[in-house]
Chains A and B, each alone.
Chain A
Amino acid sequence: MHVPDGFFNAVTSISAGAVAAAGVAVCLRGARRELDDRTAPMAGLVAAFIFAVQMLNFPVAAGTSGHLLGGALAAILVGPYTGVLCMAVVLLVQAVFFADGGLTALGVNISIMGIVTVLVGWGIFRLVTRVTRSRGGITAAAFLAALVSVPASALVFSVLFAIGGTAPIDPMAVAAAMGGVHVLIGVGEGAITAVTVGSVLAVRPDLVYGARGLARPLILRGAEGESTTVGVPEPVVATRRLKPFLLGGVGVTLVLAGLVSFFASSSPDGLEAVAENKGFLGQASDHHFGAWALADYGEVGGIPVGVAGIIGVGLVLLIAGAVAYAARGRNKIKV
């Protein structure tokens, strides 16, 4: 599903780039609180694991095969914010090092395969685990979350394709084909995710972000062999992060929908504003997302590029600011 260069038109690519940049920016803030100084190593490890299992193709139906997307798995293991970062890094590495997925399509890829799968997967996981928190319940939740996350991602792809695809194919046909295959892939994804989460849960429950906080009391032995029991200091458990995350998610989705449909009507072909592009590029590199943003805004092809870019960046800043503000407020109350 890695979208190459030239697959979507400029506006879609730019808008998706803006969404991806916004999502990643929000998650960069959130992730630090999820895993503290373990963030980078643990996220790196999960990213590597997802990368490795993404290379295992499993047969789905006549002639097609699918592979793990991994968004739900990442979210459950390291939390949603870090999960998005993992996926973004996997896609970035694939695009730059392996030429898998176009550089100018990075925004689309991160939005579809990273943000959407993590959002949907984590949302469903939290909903199910709210009902049951047993080990079986968590495994089942992992299965469901992964199962649904794949067709959801395919659906968003189809919508994007209908709006900004460069190939003249009936959008409904695309949706039907993508949906059918991806429900099957979802089953595979669900099974692998559930087995992995289940086995981690069995021996290292503390590693499953979605299932934290169960420790037994300790025993002390004296010189005469007598023993006393002492309590364990309460671990700092991170819970109830759902709300800001969902808020962020809703915001991101709104931008995606809004931006894309707003510009969908204007013709995306032709290059008429090189100067404008240049101005825009210069502006973007001063911007604190740096090259990241640059990569996402890469596809510069339509008249509205400058406008789209500025609106995009403005929205990104707005969302990032709002979420950061909300998060900071929560932190103050907690600490």
Chain B
Amino acid sequence: MKWKVRIEIMLKENILDPQGKAVKGGLNALGYKNVADVHVGKYMELIIADTDNQEDVNKQVDEMCQRLLANPVIEDYTFQVEKMEG
């Protein structure tokens, strides 16, 4: 079976996010004064094949995030797994 995984990776709460700050500044300067806060992180989409069991996919993706995709020292991540057609 095939699975589509969506992963969102963000800097931890109180870690400085220079990108977010710059984007907020940019949006405010463009006139969007009501943008109160911006954080910028990473988004990934994975296709996982040949795995029959959603539990296994969950476990594997969590491991991948820990080992490679995210940097647990400064980042948090969340993900959703969804079964694919066909």
Chain B binds chain A:
no
Interface residues, chain A, with chain B CB atoms under 8 Å away = none
